[in-house]
Structure 1
Amino acid sequence: MGGHGRRRAGTGEEFWQYRPAQAGDSARFIDWRRSARSDGQFIRDREWQLAQSLNLWVDGAASMRFTGAKTRPEKAARARLLALALAVAAIRAGERVGLTGPLAPARPGRRQLMTLAAVLSDDATAQDYGAPEVIGIAAQARVAFLSDFLGDPAAVQAAVAQLADRGIGGVMMQVLDPMEEDFPFDGRTIFESMGGALRHETRQARDLRTRYRDRLAERRHLLTELARQAGWQFATHRTDTSPQGALLWLTASLERGR
């Protein structure tokens, strides 16, 4: 994180190239040690560096409000925590951070953290599942999607493809409650979506376990392949585990994808 080279001369700390001095160049920019090895005078150019932009999408749909136990946070709360922690790390490194969409464009500075926290706390919809927004993302930016990715994958596929076509890299982190992975249900069970739009009753929930786990594995495979083809990274985080490991993975993956 921090300033990133743009492979051209400009303001920065890293050496870029020597070039012959021209009329109008100030004498204080002449590299006298390099010039002493030839008959001409040379200017030591530095590489132009610019802060990176990081854009976050935190799914605020109804499905993210699920938790399987009072001792565990909702998926939305964990996703917001990870997003804000990632934003703190990026802003401390001099990055610009914002949300995808028009509500909080990427900006530097600690004041931006308050803006992000305020917008994320109100980012809740009645829809069962969310879809990422991809407007307002600058070229050469990085993107982090945090969601359960349990809805129609077509919207996620379209968003990632659109960003990848523009050369924008990123990461996807699937945040799940342990019950959504383990499917510990048995006997008569009523399944209802958080928004109330979907409802299913069964008398033998155990009979659905294998099919459910197979469907979840298929979804993960789809997301993993989507990320691989776009040059992104994908991982899953459970809300019963420490958020520190997830934050380290997010930071390292975004760094690798610069």
Structure 2
Amino acid sequence: MSRSRLLPNTLLRWFYGVDKPTAGGPRTTGSTTTSPPVATADVACAAQALAMRMPDLLLHASQMATTLASGLHPQRRAGWGDTFWQYRPAQPGEPANRIDWRQSARTTRAHVRETEAEAAQTVLLWCDLSGSMQWRSAKALPGKLDRAVLLLLGMAALLLRNGERVHLLSPAGIVPLPPAPSALERLALGLCGLAASGPSQPAALPTPALMPRHARLLLASDLLCPDAALDDCLRQLAAHPVRTHVLHISDPAENTLPYSGRTEFSGLEDEPTLELPHVQSLRADYTNLVTARARWLEQTIGRTGHTLTRHQTDMAPLPTLLALHAQMSQRV
């Protein structure tokens, strides 16, 4: 098989748990010494580690939400609310206290000042807890799971401040949350519980049939799953209908293939190991394949009526949260 035919999904999966060669190990050529990527394959160990990091993630999420706090989602129709919507001509029998006398004085007719309807939405949070999310390419970088949890909780804090109903989703449906002082803390505890009690190979994608109709879904994942499964899931969500906002989390090494020399790749999800003698020779073809899959993701997600927000773990989370908030605030 020629190198140009290596699928990006497959090669990306080989990255998890990459063991960079050390002294006495396989030969390397032209590579620099770096810290080995960090991976946690044991589910119980990963859940315990996430629980230990959760207070810091929760605090950071609350701080970001405070920075980006804004008003309720507009409904683009007249109704009960505080935001001005439009003036309309007064109808016979209109109560006098509903007439805007200042606006009416400028014309020959009486006008009523209408406000915009504000209604709570149901938003479901899905966090990909599969083994690939436990990976990071360097100790200085956050793990993909940490960044996914941070952005989910940050968005949840914004939604809760705006009066929305926020629920946590698992493969079995909506998760009953444990008691806690605040709704955001209940969501954080629920995520820890899912990580601890989930199967040894957690599902990367949710089950559309278990979701309430006309809800909104915020899906955080590295999207390292079969393309056919992702396409089928998105189509079912669109038909349900559940409007989905996909948050694509990636590590910079997954996008650039920064390794050189003889390198052995092993997986966190039972993928076979792969040893490449001159991995840098794949870089150009690999970059083209990653670019092609990114284009496919954008087209597939857009074609099914959903939205896509990308985040790389070496970037600041606040701009991504702002972009995600703008996507979720758009009129459907």
TM-score range, shorter chain: 0.7 to 0.9
Amino acid at match of 1:208: L
Q: How many residue pairs get matched?
A: 246
Q: How far does residue 110 in structure 1 lie from its aligned partner after superposition? A: 7.5
Partner of 2:183: 112
Q: Which residue of 2 aligns with 1:88?
A: 157
Deviations along 1:93-151, one digit per CA (max 9) or x if unpaired, are 11111223424379xx9732122111222334533871233322341x33222111111
CA contact (8 A) 1:174 1:235 kept: yes
> With structure 2 as the length reference, what TM-score do the two structures score?
0.63
1:247 aligns with 2:321: yes
- What is residue 164 of structure 1 aligned with on the other side? 238
Aligned residue for 1:2?
72
Give the unaligned 5+ runs of structure 1: none
Greater RCO, 1 or 2 (C-alpha within 8 Å, sep 6+): 2
With normalisation by structure 1, the TM-score equals: 0.79
> Are the counterparts in 1 of residues 235 and 304 from structure 2 also a CA contact under 8 Å?
yes
Q: CA 1:148–1:32 in 2, change beyond 3 Å: closer, same or farther? A: closer
1:116-195, aligned counterparts within 5 Å? 116-124=187-195, 125-127=199-201, 130-134=204-208, 135-139=210-214, 141-195=215-269
Equivalent position of 2:132 in the other structure: 63
The alpha carbon displacement at 1:32 in A equals 9.7
Report the 3-state secondary structure (helix = DSSP H, G, I; strand = E; otherwise coil) of the residue aligned with 1:197: coil
Give the secondary structure class of the aligned counterpart of 2:118: strand
Assess if the C-alpha contact under 8 Å between 1:4 and 1:51 holds in 2. no
Residue by residue over 1:30-84, the C-alpha shift from the partner in whole angstroms, topping out at 9 and shown as x without a partner, is: 75968xx99xxx9988665311222221111000000111111110010000000
Counterparts of 2:271 and 2:236, CA distance in 1: 29
Where structure 2 has 5 or more consecutive residues not aligned to the other structure, the ranges are: 1-70
RMSD over equivalenced CA pairs, Å: 3.3
Displacement of 1:225 in angstroms is 0.3
CA distance 1:20–1:169, shift in 2 (3 Å): farther
SS at match of 1:132: coil
Matched residues in 1 for 2:280 and 2:142: separation?
26
Higher strand residue share: 1
Contact 2:74 2:116 in 1 (8 A): no
Contact 2:144 2:251 in 1 (8 A): yes
Larger mean Cα displacement after TM superposition, 123-132 or 144-153: 123-132
Query: Taking structure 1 as reference, are residues 157 and 100 closer, same or farther at Cα in structure 2, changes over 3 Å only?
Result: farther
Alpha-carbon separation, structure 2, partners of 1:29 and 1:168: 40
CA distance in 2, matches of 1:71, 1:248: 24
Deviation of 1:19 (Å): 5.4
**Does the 8 Å contact 1:100/1:133 carry over to 2?**
no
CA shift for structure 1 position 29: 7.1
1:170 and 1:60 mapped to 2: Cα distance?
Answer: 18
